[in-house]
Amino acid sequence: MSDGIGRVETQRAVVFDDDRPLVLESGARLTHVEVAYETYGTLAADGGNVVFICHALSGDAHAAGFHGDDRRPGWWDNIVGPGRPLDTDRFFVVCANVLGGCKGTTGPGSVDPASGRPYGLRFPLLAVRDLVETHRALLRQLGVTRLLAAIGGSLGGMQALQWSLDHPGEVGGALVVASSGRLSAQNIAFSAVAREAITRDPDFAGGDYYPDPDAPADTPPPQRPNRGLALARMIGHITYLSEESMREKFGRRIQDAVEPRYGFDVDFEVESYLAYQGQSFVERFDANTYLYMTRVMDYFDPFADRAYVGRQVAAGRAAGGGGTSYLVLSFDSDWRFSTEHAREIADELRSAGAPVTFRELSAPHGHDSFLFPVPEYHRTVAGFLDRLAAGRSVHAA
C-alpha cells in the first residue's frame, strides 16, 4: 500500500441561501446551508474522473489523509489514495459531511438564521433525498455535472442508491456497500432504543443543550447528554461487530485482573472496550445529529414506488451516458445489514432493468467490514471503477 495522500484540509462552501433556499422533501425550507468537504486528487479537464464518497451515520468529510499533526488518518484512508482502489492519481475524490451533520455542515447544532439560536429539534426532519440534493449543490459549485461513481457503505450506500435513482444521468456507477433498501423491524428497533437512551438523558433538555449565544461570556456551557449518547453508541457498536470478531478480540477475558472481581463495575475486556467507544464518540459527535441520521435511515424506502424506479432506470439508459451501473456488496458476517438486504437491492434494480453486479464477500468484522482493508473487497471495488473508467458497462454477473 502507498503512503497515502498526506496532509489535507477540510473546506466549506455555502450551497443554499436566501435567494436559493433548499426545499426539503418534507416541504420545509433551509435558507442557509453550509457544507464541509474534502477533495483528493486532481479534477480531469473533461470532469469525467469524479468519485463521490457518501459517508455512513457517524462519518464526516475527513475520509482520507491527515489533519495537522494528527496521527490518525481519515476514516476511509485505507481505500483512498495513490494506488488504492479510489486511486487519487486517477480519480478526483470528493467527500462531504451530510446535511444534518455535526462536523461542519448545517445541522441541528447550527444557528437558525430566523432566531439567532441553534436549531436543536426545531431543525426539520430529513430524507436521504435531501442529503443527496445538498451533495449535488456542492458539486455544482465545484463545476462537476456528472460522477464517474458514487460510493458509500451503510447510510452512505443509501445515498449513492438514491442519487442514482433520482438522477441516473449524473451517476455512471453506484457502489452500494453493506447497505439496505429498507430497514427491517429489528434495525428500526435498535435505532429506537438508541434514541431513547439519548432523549431520556436528564441533560438532553429537549434538544436545547447548546450554549446560549446571548449568555454572558463567563457563563459555563450547559451539560450535554453525553451519557445517553455514549449508551446509544455502545448499543450501535455491538450491532456493527460480528460474534466472531468480538470473540477473537475479547473472548471472556478479564480487564486488568486475573480473576473476576464479582461486582457491577467494568470487569470484562468487552465492557471496557464499549465504554471507551462510547466516551470517544461523545467527544466528536452531536446527540441531535444521531437522532436525525437514524431517523433518516428508518424512513428510507427507495423501491416503494417501483414504477418510478423503472421509469428512472429506463430514462438513464436512454440518455447519452447510458444510465447507472451498479455494484452491490455485502459481507457474510454482517448481521445488521445482512446479505439478504443486499440481494433485495440487487433484485429490485435488476427487475427495473439496471445492470447490476452483486457480490457477497467473506470478512470477519461484521457490518464494519466495509471500513477494513479486506483484499477481495478492495479488488472488487478497484475492478469495478476500472471498468467504469474504461467506459465499459458493468453487466449482471
Strand order of the β-sheet with 11-16 is 11-16, 33-40, 92-96, 50-54, 147-153, 171-177, 325-331, 356-361
d(Cα 198, Cα 221) in Å, to the nearest integer? 19
Give the C-alpha separation, 85 to 80, whole Å: 7
Q: Sign (positive/negative) of CA torsion 284, 162, 132, 194?
A: negative
Q: Where are the alpha helices (DSSP H) in the chain?
A: 128-141, 155-166, 185-199, 226-240, 243-249, 269-282, 287-299, 306-318, 339-351, 375-389
Distance, CA of 215 to CA of 18 (rounded, Å): 28
| Amino acid letter for position 268 | F
- Size of the chain in residues: 397
Q: Which value, to the nearest 10 degrees, does the dihedral of the CA atoms of residues 208, 210, 214, 220 take? A: 120
Residue 61: what are its φ and ψ, rounded to 5°? -75, -20
Among all residues, which ones are annotated catalytic? 154, 334, 367
- Phi-psi sector, 272: left (phi>0), alpha (psi -120 to 50), beta: alpha
Residue with cell 470484562: 268
327, 377 in Cβ contact below 8 A? no
> What's the CA dihedral at 175, 364, 55, 323 to 10 degrees?
10
DSSP at 80? B
CB 354 within 8 A of CB 315: no
- Measured CA to CA, the distance from residue 268 to residue 24 in angstroms comes to 46
CA pair distance 349, 253, nearest whole angstrom: 45
Which grid cell sits at 94? 470528493
Q: Which residues touch 397 (CB under 8 Å, ≥6 apart)?
A: 357, 358, 359
